[in-house]
């Protein structure tokens, strides 16, 4: 019998959206033949979930849960195909279960968190609702003080970790991060490749053409500093008081911002544009 490898199980999961154990069992019964395993699964109760798995799930919600003592917090993103389902009580109930499990276990590995009962519930929900649903990512943040903020539409959320200060301060800074979307906490945290990319953009700008190299470098220095200040949390004007930077706000409260995690629903997911008229026409031609 062919050896069932982790990569084979992953491929079958990616192509069907079914659970790891179910995929492993199907592959074992199919002698390691992925196509046969898919055919067998199509004949089983996993058919509907498998059909939906190929669809892009780029809608959904983000939610947070913060410990009573502000020592840690959890942020999760769970995706659906449509915004309509993202407001469904059954979907939101599932999100709540995922959040509670992550909070209780402090598990940020999605695959490990979903093993067993939660994965079965996800599959059942896919069957019931008729859309692909997936737990995309989980963040667990621990520090002296942690709190967060969720935008009212549950599409953007942030956790902020502080050394010193209190939950209210962390919440206020999380609100700022949610609204302004800084890339890093402080300027020196900006990855070198990001700085170089920005320098390439600046060099290519029309007003740099024909200038001596030393002038270009001098102008670039000012623009890079501006870029870093605009994208570094501590240098940004605080949204609730633009006269004060976030760094000054934290310092005045005897706190230091350690890090933040910001999730926005669907960010980085390539959404497939669907021409419904063409899709219907294609289906009619196949009949």
Q: Is there a shared CATH topology between the 6-52 domain and the 59-178+254-263 domain?
A: no
Answer yes or no: are the C-beta atoms of 200 and 241 closer than 8 Å: no
Which pLDDT value is given to residue 38? 78
CA angle at 161 for the pair 179 and 142, rounded to the nearest 5°: 130
Q: Which of 18-22, 30-34, 274-278 has the highest mean pLDDT?
A: 30-34
Going from the C-alpha of 216 to that of each of 1, 196, 210, 219, 247, the distances in angstroms are 66, 14, 9, 5, 31
In this predicted structure, which of 35-39, 46-50, 116-120, 212-216 has the lowest mean pLDDT? 46-50
Q: Is the pLDDT of residue 108 over 60?
A: yes
Q: Which of 66-75, 195-204, 208-217 has the highest mean pLDDT?
A: 66-75
Domain extents in the chain: 6-52, 59-178+254-263, 187-247
Residue whose C-alpha is closest to residue 190's, from 225, 156, 160, 148: 225
pLDDT one-digit tens code per residue, 30-66:
898 888 887 777 666 554 445 455 566 789 999 999 9
Which pLDDT value is given to residue 183? 95
Looking at domain 6-52, its CATH superfamily turns out to be Ubiquitin-associated (UBA) domain (1.10.8.10)
Q: How confident is the model at residue 251 (pLDDT cuts 50, 70, 90)?
A: very high
If you classify domain 59-178+254-263 with CATH, what class do you get? alpha beta
Alpha helices in the chain (DSSP H): 6-16, 20-29, 34-43, 47-52, 83-86, 89-105, 110-114, 117-129, 167-180, 192-203, 213-231, 246-252, 276-286
How high is the mean pLDDT of the chain? 87
Q: How confident is the model at residue 204 (pLDDT cuts 50, 70, 90)?
A: confident
pLDDT one-digit tens code per residue, 139-194:
999 999 999 999 988 999 999 999 999 999 999 999 999 999 999 999 999 999 99
């Amino acid at each position: 019998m062919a050896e069932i490898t982790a990569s084979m199980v992953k491929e079958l999961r990616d192509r069907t959206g079914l659970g790891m154990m179910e995929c492993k069992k199907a592959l074992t019964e199919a002698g390691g033949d992925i196509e046969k395993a898919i055919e067998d699964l199509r004949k089983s109760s996993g058919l509907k979930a498998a059909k939906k798995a190929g669809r892009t799930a780029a809608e959904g919600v983000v939610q947070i849960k913060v410990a009573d003592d502000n020592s840690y917090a959890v942020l999760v993103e769970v995706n659906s195909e449509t915004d309509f389902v993202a407001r469904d009580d059954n979907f939101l109930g599932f999100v709540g279960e995922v959040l509670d499990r992550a909070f209780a276990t402090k598990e940020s590995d999605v695959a490990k968190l979903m093993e067993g009962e939660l994965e079965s519930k996800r599959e059942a929900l896919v069957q019931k609702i008729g859309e692909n649903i997936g737990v995309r990512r989980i963040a667990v943040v621990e520090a002296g003080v942690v709190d967060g903020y969720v935008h009212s539409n549950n599409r953007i959320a942030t956790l902020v970790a502080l050394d010193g200060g209190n939950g209210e301060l962390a919440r206020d800074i999380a609100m700022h991060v949610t609204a302004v979307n800084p890339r890093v906490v402080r300027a020196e945290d900006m990855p070198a490749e990001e700085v170089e990319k920005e320098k390439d953009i600046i060099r290519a700008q029309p007003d740099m053409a024909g200038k001596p190299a030393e002038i270009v470098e001098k102008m670039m220095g000012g623009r890079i500093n501006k870029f870093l200040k605009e994208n570094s949390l501590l240098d940004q004007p605080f949204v609730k008081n633009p006269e004060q930077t976030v760094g000054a706000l934290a310092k005045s409260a005897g706190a230091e911002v350690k890090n933040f995690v910001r999730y926005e629903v669907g960010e980085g997911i390539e959404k497939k544009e669907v021409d419904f008229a063409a899709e219907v026409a294609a289906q009619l031609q196949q009949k």
